[in-house]
Structure 1
């Protein structure tokens, strides 16, 4: 079975026919270093009761960090073709996870999911980007929401969201949990996020990006032009942001 070996010597098992797997092998178990660094920062902000990885893929964002003992760990990966190698990876790392094949969005139900045969990391819920080419394999998946998963327990949670353009839906589906929990953090991919929505998010919540060379966070402003100016700064990690509860910001 093919695998990537991380800088810490951990194995990430992969499907060798997936070009993303080849990238993981070549880059010692990571695709974007800054994303893993920001995830470490988010995990270190509080003593979380629940940690959720939405879009687990091969599990590199779990293998590359220290998951505290006793944490409820939930992973969502609708591309079930990855589950076998993912379980092997996490078992080897000693990580116990509740791995679910659902997608996460703004309402529960079922939806069409597009598996990218050319790069597993860009698989997502179906939208206008997905043509009828051989690149895509379509299947129906169950869909849940973070509100449904977290309930109203008030337990502190930290979530990594990598859903290829459906970040707004995930956030909308977490409105009750965000309002009823004192300590929470959401890490969202923003590389392809509409800047207008990012500004809107920053007007509603406390949103930050990380400096590349430090663990310092820079607040994202609530105006589109200001957001665009901020993200022109090459000293910042511009792939992801972290959204924090007022108690943490």
Structure 2
């Protein structure tokens, strides 16, 4: 099997016909450094009971972080063609995971999933953006929600969400868990997120982005114009944000 080697010497096994795999090989097992740094920061904010990776892909965000010992670890990757190499990667790293082929959204059921043949990382639930070309391989997948997964347990949870523009659906499907759990963190990719939704999220939740050269968090203001201005700042990591429960948010030193 082909593999990328991380800076720490871990192997990430890949499918060599996938251009994203070649990117991982060339960049020592990562695509965007700031995303991994923010994920590590989120994992360190609390002694989590459950950690969930939605959109595992090749597992680089799990291999590159220290997953707390004894934590319940769940991964979602509907692109089952990656599962063989992913399982080998995690077994080699000593990571035990409950790997599921479901997609995660706002309601349970079934849906079409579009696998991107040209870059596995942009695979997602099917919508009007998918043009019907040979780029996309369509599959039927089961869909679940974070509320279903967490089951009202009250266990603290930290979740990484990389779903190529379906972040709102994932958050909506976690409404009960966000309301009923004391400590939680959601890391959301914002590159494909509608800025209006990000502003709406920031008005109702505690949303932060990370400074590029430090572990300091900068709070995202409500209001679309303010969000646009903040994300124009090149000193910030603008690929992802982290949404924190009120108790965790109050404990963070942040810049308004």
* TM-score bucket (shorter structure): over 0.9
- CA RMSD of superposed structures (Å): 0.4
Q: In the TM superposition, what are the counterparts of 1:137-176 in structure 2 within 5 Å? A: 137-176=137-176
CA distance in 2, matches of 1:66, 1:226: 34
Residue of structure 2 in register with 1:101 after alignment: 101
Residue of structure 1 in register with 2:220 after alignment: 220
Q: Deviations over 1:65-115 (max 9, x none)?
A: 011111000000000000000000000000000000000000000000000
Query: How high is the TM-score relative to the length of structure 1?
Result: 1.00
CA distance in 1, matches of 2:9, 2:20: 20
Query: How high is the TM-score relative to the length of structure 2?
Result: 0.97
Q: In the TM superposition, what are the counterparts of 1:60-71 in structure 2 within 5 Å? A: 60-71=60-71
Q: Deviations over 1:142-195 (max 9, x none)?
A: 000000000111100000000000000000000000000000000000012111
CA distance in 1, matches of 2:107, 2:68: 30
Q: In the TM superposition, what are the counterparts of 1:52-63 in structure 2 within 5 Å? A: 52-63=52-63
Q: Is there any run of 5+ residues in structure 2 with no aligned partner, and where?
A: 250-256
CA distance in 1, matches of 2:153, 2:104: 19
Whether 1:207 and 2:207 are equivalent positions in the alignment is: yes
Residue of structure 1 in register with 2:81 after alignment: 81
Q: Deviations over 1:173-229 (max 9, x none)?
A: 000000000000000000121111001000111000000000000000011000000
Q: In the TM superposition, what are the counterparts of 1:4-19 in structure 2 within 5 Å? A: 4-19=4-19
Q: In the TM superposition, what are the counterparts of 1:120-131 in structure 2 within 5 Å? A: 120-131=120-131
3-state SS of paired residue (1:247): helix
CA distance in 1, matches of 2:194, 2:142: 26
Residue of structure 1 in register with 2:51 after alignment: 51
CA distance in 1, matches of 2:65, 2:163: 20
Residue of structure 1 in register with 2:237 after alignment: 237
3-state SS of paired residue (1:248): helix
CA distance in 2, matches of 1:169, 1:191: 16
Residue of structure 1 in register with 2:27 after alignment: 27
Q: In the TM superposition, what are the counterparts of 1:177-192 in structure 2 within 5 Å? A: 177-192=177-192
3-state SS of paired residue (1:85): helix
CA distance in 1, matches of 2:121, 2:201: 24
